[in-house]
Amino acid sequence: MQRIMPATDFSERSDRALRRAVILARAHGVSLDLVHVVDDDRPRRIVEHEAYDARQLLAELARTLKDMDGVTCSTQVLLDDPFAGIVKAAAETSPDLLVIGPHRRQILRDAFVGTTAERTIRSVACPVLMVNGPPVGPWRHMLLTTDLSKNAGAALTRFKRLGLGAEARSSMLNVFGAPALRLAMSDTMGKEGQEDYLEDLGSDARQHLSAFMTQIGMGQIEKIVRHEETTVANEILKSAEELKADLIVVSTQGKGAVARLVLGSVAQQVLKAAQTDVLAIPVQTPREQN
């Protein structure tokens, strides 16, 4: 990993993201590309005044990070729509990782996720880290998730190249479905029959997960399979809580013309409800790889 871009609006939320970015920058020996976007849909005098203040604040912040943390920073202030500005900065800089703060859960929760985190993640080509947890040190336990698809394998391969959390414990989770238990026939199976059915499905899921992980070169990671008792996203969140994971890794849909318009529902739901950090990894197309 060579470039990390934290987006800041100078709020407490973005300060949390910045601290996590600093921890990562120090661990990987890289600099930060700090970006702030001034909303330009206001009177020119106000925009220019705010832009001047933002440049001063960013310069001061960069000096502090250099003196206190030994992390060098470039700074950039853009005049644009806040979301479009972040996307533009990411496109021009091509960071390996974009770091953003958590959404305001207490205010218009669903709408806010739909217009910030989701919009950003589906619009940029790089992985996006949403920092929800307190950035007190390196991650201790990373929970990687997969649906065993080709896209998930490509996203996890991209995750490997980032080299994140080398010292952390890692687990790979696959949530498997149990169609028969959702049908009327489940009432005729009996408790013992249902348990046997789930055991067979779980055994198959473990074999498929093991083969998948070997194929992508991650066979050494702890393997976890879990029945989709509620929703896939909810099972991921429950697993993260049980394991005390402080980072959840999810893959998003590809970056084709259609896929770019929609964030995968599982990733969206995890981002919306997670109390811990979430890393969203997009699938990298051959053109993007080149």
Where is the domain boundary, 52, 80, 101? 101
Please tell me the predicted confidence (pLDDT) of residue 122. Answer: 83
Task: Please check the confidence at residue 214 and state whether its pLDDT lies above 80.
Answer: yes
pLDDT digits (tens, 9 = 90+) for 152-162: 999 999 999 99
Confidence band, pLDDT 50/70/90 cuts, at residue 12:
confident
Task: Please check the confidence at residue 268 and state whether its pLDDT lies above 90.
Answer: no
In this structure, is residue 110 part of a structural domain? no
Give the amino acid at 44.
R
Domain count of the chain? 2
Listed ranges 104-118, 233-247, 267-281; the one with the highest mean pLDDT: 233-247
Residue 42 and residue 183 in one domain: no
Residue 86 and residue 144 in one domain: no
3-state secondary structure of 232: helix
Please tell me the predicted confidence (pLDDT) of residue 104. Answer: 57
Report in angstroms the alpha-carbon separations of 202 from 89, 99, 111, 142, 174: 44, 36, 37, 22, 10
CATH code of the domain containing 35:
3.40.50.620
Residue 274 and residue 141 in one domain: yes
Tokens (6 digits) for 214:
């070997």
Instruction: Please count the other Cβ atoms lying within 10 Å of the Cβ belonging to residue 142.
Output: 23
- Sequence-distant (6+) residues with CB within 8 A of 57 are 10, 36
In this structure, is residue 239 part of a structural domain? yes
Which of these ranges, 34-43, 214-223, 263-272, 281-290, has the smallest mean pLDDT? 281-290
Task: Please check the confidence at residue 222 and state whether its pLDDT lies above 70.
Answer: yes
Report in angstroms the alpha-carbon separations of 182 from 177, 187, 190, 237, 266: 10, 10, 14, 21, 19
Mean pLDDT of the chain: 87
Residue 279 and residue 209 in one domain: yes
3-state secondary structure of 132: coil
Residue 203 and residue 80 in one domain: no
Residue 75 and residue 196 in one domain: no
Confidence band, pLDDT 50/70/90 cuts, at residue 194:
confident
Tokens (6 digits) for 183:
């049908």
Residues 87, 123 contacting (CB under 8 angstroms): yes
Task: Please check the confidence at residue 252 and state whether its pLDDT lies above 90.
Answer: no
The DSSP element (H or E) to which 241 belongs, if any, is helix 232-243
Report in angstroms the alpha-carbon separations of 54 from 12, 25, 44, 101: 16, 22, 15, 18
Report in angstroms the alpha-carbon separations of 35 from 32, 96, 126, 243: 9, 15, 15, 34
Residues 74, 32 contacting (CB under 8 angstroms): yes
Q: What length does the chain have?
A: 290
Task: Please check the confidence at residue 116 and state whether its pLDDT lies above 80.
Answer: no
Residues 159, 279 contacting (CB under 8 angstroms): yes
Please tell me the predicted confidence (pLDDT) of residue 253. Answer: 64
pLDDT digits (tens, 9 = 90+) for 160-177: 999 998 889 999 999 998
Residue 97 and residue 160 in one domain: no
The residue range of the domain holding 259 is: 136-290
Residue 70 and residue 187 in one domain: no
DSSP string covering 41-60, please?
SS-HHHHHHHHHHHHHHHHH
DSSP 106: T
Residue 86 and residue 21 in one domain: yes
Residues 226, 173 contacting (CB under 8 angstroms): yes
